[in-house]
Structure formats: C-alpha cells, structure tokens
Amino acid sequence: MADFPAMPFYTDAYLADTTHLTTEEHGAYLLLLFAAWRSPGCSLRDDDAFLARVAKVTPDRWRKRLRPILAPFWRIQGGIWTQKKQQSVREKLGAISEKRAKAARQVREAKPLAERETVPANEGANGQQTGPYPKPNTKTKESPPTVPLLGDERVLEEFEVWWQAYPRKIGRRATLEAYQRVRAEAGADQLLAAVKAAAAAWKAEGTQDRFIPHPANWLEQRRWQNVAPAPAPDAPAEPIELARLSAGALLATQSRARYDALLQRVGPERLVGMVERLGDGRDTRDLYLAVERTADAACNHISGGLAA
C-alpha cells in the first residue's frame, strides 16, 4: 500500500494542460501519474520497457507515439521521471503528516508514564487496524433499587405498593417520576387496581418479562386506562370472612382460638364495626385489646340488663 493511498487530483489544472491529448494519451498519462504516486519517491525510472508496461502499450508504441507526447509533462533527470505538480503535493502532504505525528509525540511524552496509552493489540505500528475492531461497551448501569427517592412521603408509600405489584422491575427512578405525574390525574387505588389486573392478564397469557412494557412507559402512555377491571365476585363473601379480612391484623398477634372466641361473642358484623371504629392510631395488639374490652363491656351491659 502507498504511504498516501489517496492522491489529490486537480481536475481544472489537469484539463487545462491536456486538452490536446487523445483518449489513449490521457489513459497512458494517468496510469503513469498513478504509478508514480504509489512509488516511495513519487517517481518512475527512465526505462522504456518499464514505462510501456505501466502505460499498458507495446514498447514500440511507447517509443514511437506516446513518449514524445507525454515526456514534456515530466522532469527527467538522472534516469528518473518526476512530475512537478505531483511532487509538490506529495511533499506538502508529507510535511503535514510529519507535523501531526510530532505533535502527537509531544503530547504523549508530556503525560506521566502511568497515564500514557499503549497501542492496542489489534493496531499496527503505523496506526492502521490489523485485527477485528473491538466491540463497543453496550452495558448500562441499572438504577439501584435502594436509591433515595424525593417526593411526598404519602406518594412514595403508594408508589412502593404499586411497584411491588408491577411484574417487570426496571427503571425505578424514571417510573417514580412517571407515577408522580400520573398521580395528579388518577387515584392510587385506581392505579393499583389497574396494575394488578394487567399483571394477572400477563400471567394468564404467559407473557414473558421482556414483552411486558417498561413500567414508566406503561404509566406515561396511559395504558392503565385501558385495563379492564377485574370481574366482580359471583356472590358476596360470608360475614365471617368479612370479619376476618377487616380484623386480619389481629391474627398477627393473637391465637386463632382466642380470635374465634371473640368472633363468636360479638358476631362478625359487630367485630368489623369495632375494628373500623377503634383502629385509628393503634398497633395490632392495642387494637385487639381495645376490641376485647369493648366486647366485654357490651356483654356485661347486656347481662346486667337481663338480671335487672
């Protein structure tokens, strides 16, 4: 390969100097210019047999017809052919290349040894690629799940519940920002119900995680508005089940036998009402004790009235 693979070509100057040449003479002249440009000294040796091969003609045709026409475009000294314009362009390119290489060396030498870059294994000494290009680093850092999030505490708590219900956990920070924007037009219960319905549909259809939309996109594109609500149950739950759902926190601290005894004494509907009335501001144990005291007081009141 030539030191400079691309040869600058000034068409206006060339055509102005060669308007009298025939097609054959144009072709021979260009072939000579190309061969000279690719040679180390940007020159050709004055050998008719060699020049005839370069011009792709017979030696006799070269000597009798082409050499007399093309020789005036060249400077022939010491058995060497050089073209004045081509030689000048080549020297300018060489000077520019050397200047850039010198500047690069100065920058490299000015760096501490530890900061100097080494030539990659797939790059040759002249900076040309000799092996396959390295693969770009396409890995991206995912948002850690424990990054502190800013915003209203109530909205953050709602978002945490919503986030746990969404089956594909990706882009937490972007999803929180989308949730905060959407929250201005939809209630937390509506968003939670929609995501639960969507998750159930994806699970029923066997949708793979990679085909589930990014949670932020799901919110921003208002897909929660298109989710069909979950079908209503065929029949209302039994009263005892309603009581257990409303007072389920009591089971976390008390035995099932004690809970069932309380349920039998007051009945499911009254137990639900007591839990709803007494539950504000109490933890589960205090709530149970308060419900139990209220139930005992009610039973004692009823017993006293009957005795009287």
Dihedrals phi, psi of 46, to nearest 5 degrees: -80, 80
Q: Of the candidates 30, 39, 44, which has an alpha carbon nearest to the alpha carbon of residue 75? A: 44
Task: Please state, in angstroms and rounded to a whole number, the distance separating the CA atoms of residues 110 and 204.
Answer: 65
Confidence (pLDDT) at 148: 40
Report domain extents, the chain. Answer: 1-118, 153-225, 239-307
Per-residue pLDDT of the chain (308 residues; tens, 9 = 90+): 457 777 888 888 889 889 899 999 999 999 999 998 888 788 899 999 999 999 999 999 999 999 999 999 999 988 999 988 888 888 888 888 888 888 888 887 776 665 555 545 555 545 555 555 555 554 544 444 434 444 567 788 888 888 999 999 888 999 999 898 888 888 888 889 988 998 998 898 888 888 899 999 989 888 878 876 555 555 444 445 545 545 554 544 455 677 777 777 777 777 777 777 776 666 666 777 777 788 778 777 665 555 55
**25-33 LR contacts (CB < 8 Å, sep 24+):** 25/66, 25/69, 25/70, 27/55, 27/56, 28/55, 28/56, 28/57, 28/66, 28/70, 29/70, 29/73, 31/55, 31/56, 32/70, 32/74, 32/81, 33/7, 33/83, 33/86
User: Residue 66: its pLDDT value, please?
Assistant: 92
Q: What is the pTM of this model?
A: 0.36
Which tokens hold the place of 302? 């009823």
pLDDT at 88: 85
